[in-house]
Amino acid sequence: MASFLFSLLRFTIFLLIVHSKPCFPSKPSLLLPIKTQTIPRLSSATSTTSKLPFRHNVSLTVSLQVGSPPQNITMVLDTGSELSWLHCNKSQNFNSFFNPFASSSYSTIPCTSSVCTNRTRDLPIPASCDTDKLCHVIISYADLTSSEGNLATETMSMGSLKQPRFIFGCMYSGFSSSSEEDSRTTGLMGMNLGSLSFVTQMRYPKFSYCISGFESTGVLIFGDERLPWLKPLNYTPLVKISDPLPNFDRVAYSIQLEGIRVGSKMLNLPKSDFTLDHTGAGQTMVDSGTQFSFLLGPVYTALRNEFLQQTKGILRVLNDPNFVFQGTMDLCYLVESTRRNLPELPVVSLLFTGAEVSVSGPRLLYRVPGLVKNGKDSVYCFTFGNSDLLGIESFVIGHHHQQNIWMEFDLAKSRVGFTEFRCDIASKNLGIGLI
């Protein structure tokens, strides 16, 4: 993960995962709106009033209430992380995003607690004791910066549902930003399969979301809501392994990518390019905390070459070997700024075990903000990147390619479901608008 792009929305949170299967009691479903939000590039300064350490791309945010009395907070939805965390303050005399001193239900976790000590065996940066003998954690990012704070418990509220003693990170240090847009985001909602994740602690057996698009509303559902207007889903099973492997994340939503088709042509690649090796490298993760999608080198190269071949005469290639968008995307095009719509492009279909996701139209090309060539041409880049340039050994399906797809994460049946759907219509049908 040498590039800053992967760290922009996807944190590497070094907390040991407990793999026991949770028990999911029956409870009513809960509907929440989600919103895409641009998180600006942050400065390198640190401050007790630090903002979220995201870079300049898009995140998915959802509003909740935390504490007693409830404080309104906004969290980034991240299926690639475990620990949920909030920005807190060490001082009662300083304004903060979440003020633990104003909540009667806030409680710190001592470093002698099993929650702290049982998660230190595999940590590159183990949990430790601070000067107050509280459980101290450090979250490390791919750009070698970090944020730190203490594990704590608090009451988490979603509608009428209240979950007391919810374990989260109360983070004090991080990056600072004066951006108004940045200041609207309080923390991160870790949604993977780990025992400390939001969905595990809230004990919902299923959650779903639907993303409308950039700066648009979406919907997040906890539970099993009956939706008669939703088309049937195609399911792919979660990939699980019994033995720990150094390059396999056992609490990620890992599914099996079997092939890629461009238009009507299948990429001519061996099965071994999509399967795990003996170290666990080569898994495919569904990650709402990453914007774009990334493929291992040989697969990326094959896709890039085929897409380039099929767009000859349709698009003008940016022939600049020194320009690689965000360090991972080296296939870019020139499009006249006055042009309203992109030309018809070949559909890229991702083939999973039992399911297929088609990426088409504007989801295939991303306009580089503020970049104009020749005084009249905007630059658009192919929205698949090279994992090798990130220093990771995985396929990652980001949320840009999940737009207008109903995404269902069925924990009880260990599967992920997909179906194409206009997510703005889903929000309208459910009576949910922008946050």
Strand partners, 137: 149
Two structure tokens written together for 195: 């025992």
CATH 2.40.70.10 fits 234-422, yes or no: yes
Q: What does the pLDDT read at residue 301?
A: 97
- Which superfamily does CATH assign the domain made up of 4-204 to? Acid Proteases (2.40.70.10)
The answer to whether 274 and 256 are in contact (CB under 8 A) is yes
Q: What does the pLDDT read at residue 279?
A: 94
Task: Note the pLDDT tens digit of each residue in 211-227.
Answer: 887 556 688 888 888 88
Residues near 220 by Cβ (< 8 Å), separated by ≥ 6?
A: 31, 32, 33, 34, 62, 77, 207, 208, 209
User: Other C-beta atoms within 10 Å of 26: how many?
Assistant: 8
Q: What does the pLDDT read at residue 74?
A: 84
What are the boundaries of each domain within the chain?
4-204, 234-422
Name the active-site residue from 78, 182, 377, 410: 78
Q: What does the pLDDT read at residue 53?
A: 20
Q: Comparing 4-204 with 234-422, is the CATH topology the same?
A: yes
Name the active-site residue from 287, 330, 377, 410: 287
Q: What does the pLDDT read at residue 273?
A: 97
CA–CA distances in Å: residue 214 to residues 367, 370, 423: 12, 16, 12
- Point out the residues of the chain with pLDDT beneath 50: 1-24, 37-57, 120-124, 143, 175-184, 435
Strand partners, 148: 138
**Is 78 known to be catalytic?**
yes
Strand partners, 151: 169
Q: Enter the pTM of the model.
A: 0.84
Q: What does the pLDDT read at residue 145?
A: 56
**Is 224 known to be catalytic?**
no
